[in-house]
């Protein structure tokens, strides 16, 4: 059995510009039947995403290349064939669309962990034995570490899981933040968050611009390569000053910066929570419609600042509507 595919090769020691992905294209023999399941499980453990039948992708890297090559050897020893190649474009998709596939896969895994952690949190408040909870928490932490290892682009679901781990362990998930005593102390800062903003980050940026600093500047970064600088405040990202805490999303945490009770803002926070965490905790009737509009904004607007502008305008209208109801 022979498999061929045309592809461009990069020069030794230096990747050509624009290459960001590694593809494994393979064919398996019809027998033994268990081989297909075995190879699929190996690919899952590597964090690879399937693009079409027998075509899998990983972000380019030496470890990814080695993982694919070892797997290819195993496939060939079993009577199959395949190849590993670099790709600039993957199945006609843009880079951000491929990354979204990886994030969706990891978010699904984080969601399973978060569900179990919430159940543990409820059990801890009941009469469950502490030693049983400790052992289960350790197993969940090991699963979490495994998911993080293949979370190549920093999926949003990690924040919820990490916050619940911190609550169960009764210690902060990141260094204790020092909340500003006054809103004035938060002005003239650069607010940093992850690229590819979604509802929680869009809402946080809206809150900052509307209630904290109308001239606030934002910086969108790759979480894995970002290095914190003086004068920057991080939100909705791992080890951020303002991020998920327990079962609260980042917007709920940031809303506590504002003095006094604001029923309209609380209503907005409840909607953002349910759209972001998808747990239907508050069950507001407006949530489904707003979730669809936010998804449309993120699909049509590729630049983060454009998403913030469009989403912020919508949140302005929603907030004013709740104020009028009062």
Give pLDDT tens digits for 164-183. 888 887 654 444 344 455 68
Whole-number pLDDT of residue 125: 67
**Do 111 and 163 fall into the same domain?**
yes
User: Which secondary-structure segment (H or E) carries 129?
Assistant: none
Whole-number pLDDT of residue 44: 93
Whole-number pLDDT of residue 59: 94
What is the distance between the alpha carbons of residues 35 and 172, in angstroms, rounded to a whole number? Answer: 44
Please indicate, yes or no, if residue 203 is contained in any of the structural domains.
yes
Please indicate, yes or no, if residue 178 is contained in any of the structural domains.
no
Please indicate, yes or no, if residue 316 is contained in any of the structural domains.
yes
**Do 71 and 157 fall into the same domain?**
no
Whole-number pLDDT of residue 311: 97
Domain boundary among 118, 139, 169: 169
- For the four alpha carbons of 218, 148, 243 and 293, in that order, the dihedral sign comes to positive
Domain boundary among 87, 117, 139: 87
The domain tally of the chain equals: 3
Task: Kindly give, in sequence order, each residue whose CB lies less than 8 Å from that of residue 170, ignoring residues fewer than 6 positions away.
Answer: none
Place of tokens 């039948």: 53
Please indicate, yes or no, if residue 48 is contained in any of the structural domains.
yes
Residue 127 has pLDDT above 70, yes or no: no
Please indicate, yes or no, if residue 41 is contained in any of the structural domains.
yes
Residue 326 has pLDDT above 80, yes or no: no
| Cβ pair 239, 175 in contact under 8 A | yes
**Do 150 and 259 fall into the same domain?**
no
Question: What would the two tokens of residue 109 be?
Answer: 């895994």
Q: 10-24, 123-137, 224-238: which has the minimum mean pLDDT?
A: 10-24
Higher-pLDDT residue of 35 and 133 is 35
Please indicate, yes or no, if residue 6 is contained in any of the structural domains.
no
CA distances from 188 to 191, 193, 240 (A): 9, 16, 18
Whole-number pLDDT of residue 5: 40
Please indicate, yes or no, if residue 177 is contained in any of the structural domains.
no
Whole-number pLDDT of residue 177: 47
| Cβ pair 56, 43 in contact under 8 A | yes
Instruction: For residue 127, give its domain range.
Output: 95-169
């Amino acid at each position: 059995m022979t498999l061929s595919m045309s592809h461009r090769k990069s020069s030794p020691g230096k990747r050509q510009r624009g290459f960001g992905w590694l593809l494994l294209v393979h064919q398996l023999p019809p027998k033994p039947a268990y081989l297909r399941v075995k190879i699929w499980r190996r690919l899952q453990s590597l964090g690879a995403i399937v693009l079409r039948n027998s075509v899998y992708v990983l972000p380019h890297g030496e470890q990814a290349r080695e993982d694919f090559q070892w797997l290819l050897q195993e496939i060939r020893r079993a009577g199959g064939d395949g190849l590993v190649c670099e790709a600039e474009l993957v199945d006609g998709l843009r880079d951000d669309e491929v990354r979204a596939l990886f994030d969706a896969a990891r978010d699904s895994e984080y969601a399973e962990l978060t569900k179990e952690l919430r159940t543990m949190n409820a059990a801890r408040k009941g009469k469950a034995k502490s030693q049983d909870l400790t052992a289960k928490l350790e197993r969940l932490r090991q699963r979490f570490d495994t998911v993080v290892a293949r979370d190549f682009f920093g999926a949003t679901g990690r924040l919820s899981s990490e916050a619940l781990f911190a609550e169960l362990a009764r210690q902060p998930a990141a260094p204790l933040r020092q909340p500003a005593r006054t809103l004035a102390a938060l002005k003239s800062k650069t607010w940093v968050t992850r690229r590819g903003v979604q509802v929680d980050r869009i809402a946080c940026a809206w809150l900052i611009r509307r209630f904290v600093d109308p001239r606030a500047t934002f910086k969108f970064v790759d979480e894995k390569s970002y290095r914190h600088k003086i004068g920057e405040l991080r939100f909705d990202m791992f080890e951020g000053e303002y991020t998920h805490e327990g079962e609260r999303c980042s917007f709920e945490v940031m809303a506590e910066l504002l003095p006094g009770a604001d029923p309209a803002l609380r209503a907005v926070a409840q909607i953002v929570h349910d759209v972001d965490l998808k747990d239907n905790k508050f069950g507001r009737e407006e949530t489904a419609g707003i979730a669809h509009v936010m998804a449309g904004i993120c699909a049509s607007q590729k630049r983060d600042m454009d998403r913030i502008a469009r989403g912020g305008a919508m949140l302005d209208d929603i907030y004013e509507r709740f104020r009028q109801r009062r």
